[in-house]
Amino acid sequence: MQTYEMYIGGQWVPPASGAYLDSVDPYTGKPWARIPHGNAKDADRAVQAAHEAFTEGPWSKLTATQRGALLRRLGDLLVANARRLAEIEVRDNGKLMAEMFAQASYIPQWYYYFAGLADKVQGAVIPIDKPGVLNYTRREPVGVVVGITPWNSPLLLATNKIAPALAAGCTLVMKPSEYTSASLLEFARLVEEAGFPPGVFNVVTGLGGEIGEALVTHPRVAKVAFTGGELGGKSVYQSAARNLKKVSLELGGKSPNIVFDDANIDNAVNGAVSGIFAASGQTCIAGSRLLVQETIYDAFMEKLLALAGTAQIGDPRRSDTQVGPVTTKAQYDKILEYIAIAKAEGATSVLGGKAADRGGWFVEPTIFTNVTNDMRIAQEEVFGPVLAVIKFKDEDEAVSIANDVLYGLAAGVWTQSIARAINVSDRLQAGVIWVNTYRSVSYSSPVNGHKMSGIGAENGIEAIDEYLQTKSIWINTASEVPNPFIMRI
């Protein structure tokens, strides 16, 4: 069994505790690797290394163009290692090889994109209203950034933070989920190979309540970028607020996928299945609430059940597998608990509704009908292959149901009317709206969580702003100094 070490200050080091955690393959339910069980001492060491690299090391002396060149080199290395990284992620989190290889092959584009943005960060000369004064602004990196990422798409969600932070000139300490740390540790080898100076990028591993809390509250950390659940996000936000750190949060969702009666039904059925059963429902943008207009409800459900019923459950490494295992035992138990809650509340299971006997942590693709929007299955994030179907009468009712939830991460709209597509998209309270597609992402398009789904932006030009701060500089060009006892207004 492979044993990993932490990557701190350009060195591979064991945890201060000397203890390790098992990383378990969800398909077999058996350990396949060991990762360091870090603590506050490891957190401090990593942050100090990042702080030194930011303030004194060669990183602080590089031009933005030179930082961009390093990011492009890293992107090239990721292209060459995409297959290997995908294999590690499949073994660590149980998602389909087809999906993880697609992600690993696409991730380099983030580094190319932000490499190009690195030397496009500009301040401005302000036409100030004071004679004899030059006033201009600089956009500068915030400093040491802590990134905390979940287990469902380890490298992709880490990249959403790493690429813009490095492009901005920050240094990083990354703390991946204790369930899926291997791929980010392997990624650190590529950062080293690309030539990034020691301390610019660090990876520590362990439990959130131990090493994660120490990172978030460390006085030398300027910003925390977190992706995960709502409760974890609240905890991070509260802890970071003690020292007024900058925070960005990408949290959960209970996204509506709305099908109107003028939609292409076959396309909408495909979108509904992809929105919830791809990745076994383990995505924050999952279309876990399916809203179907009553005039096409019966015809739509017939086709939906026919397609969803063909899903092949099994080994995520096989090309013919369509639904893999749930990543963790705790999440597996949580999904089954929510299925029981839905049944107790009066929802009808028309597909699945139980664990799948495949040897690992498998849950059958599950569809509930007779769901009302006040049920827990419609209001709370299950994060699994469980779909709640709700019938609606007209556009106003669809929007009302869609917005009647605490979250606001994503939404889908299926219609052939451009007027309806624009109107409904304008009215939906969510950061990403897909029309006649679902679950598409790009490095160039921002993701902004609304309501309880988060704070700040990831991806796109907006993302680099999350890692920058503005400095205003005033230079007196006059020959005389103004009266020191009077504010110059």
The DSSP code sequence of 163-175 is: HHHHHHT-EEEEE
DSSP SS3 for 290: strand
Q: How do residues 184-240 score in pLDDT, each as one tens digit?
A: 999 999 999 999 999 999 999 999 999 999 999 999 999 999 999 999 999 999 999
The pLDDT assigned to 195 comes to 98
Average pLDDT, the chain: 96
At 340, the amino acid letter reads A
Q: How do residues 436-467 score in pLDDT, each as one tens digit?
A: 999 999 999 999 999 999 999 999 999 999 99
Q: How do residues 91-100 score in pLDDT, each as one tens digit?
A: 999 999 999 9
- CA max distance for the chain: 84
Give the ranges where 346-444 is alpha helix by DSSP (H). Answer: 376-379, 395-403, 418-427
What average pLDDT does the segment 272-280 reach? 94
**Tokens at 160, concatenated:** 């959403």
Split at pLDDT 50, 70, 90, the class of 263 is very high
Q: How do residues 33-52 score in pLDDT, each as one tens digit?
A: 999 999 999 999 999 999 99
The pLDDT assigned to 324 comes to 93
Split at pLDDT 50, 70, 90, the class of 364 is very high
The pLDDT assigned to 444 comes to 97
Percentage of the chain with pLDDT > 70? 100
The pLDDT assigned to 488 comes to 72
Residue 265 host element (H or E): helix 265-277
Q: How do residues 394-452 score in pLDDT, each as one tens digit?
A: 999 999 999 999 999 999 999 999 999 999 999 999 999 999 999 999 999 999 999 99
Split at pLDDT 50, 70, 90, the class of 478 is confident
- Residue 481, pLDDT > 80, answer no
Just list the catalytic residues: 250
The DSSP code sequence of 207-253 is: -IIIIIHHHHT-TTEEEEEEES-HHHHHHHHHHHHTTT-EEEEE---
User: In sequence order, what are the residues at sequence separation of 6 or more whose Cβ sits closer than 8 angstroms to the Cβ of residue 337?
Assistant: none
Query: Nearest to residue 228, comparing CAs of 328, 350, 325, 310?
Result: 328
The pLDDT assigned to 257 comes to 98
Calculated CA dihedral for residues 184, 185, 190, 191, nearest 10 degrees: 80
Rg (CA), the chain: 24
What average pLDDT does the segment 283-287 reach? 95
Query: Nearest to residue 187, comparing CAs of 154, 232, 222?
Result: 154
Query: Do the beta carbons of residue 251 and residue 235 sit within 8 Å?
Result: no
Split at pLDDT 50, 70, 90, the class of 484 is confident
Q: How do residues 110-149 score in pLDDT, each as one tens digit?
A: 999 999 999 999 999 999 999 999 999 999 999 999 999 9
The pLDDT assigned to 482 comes to 72
CA distance 272 to 264: 12
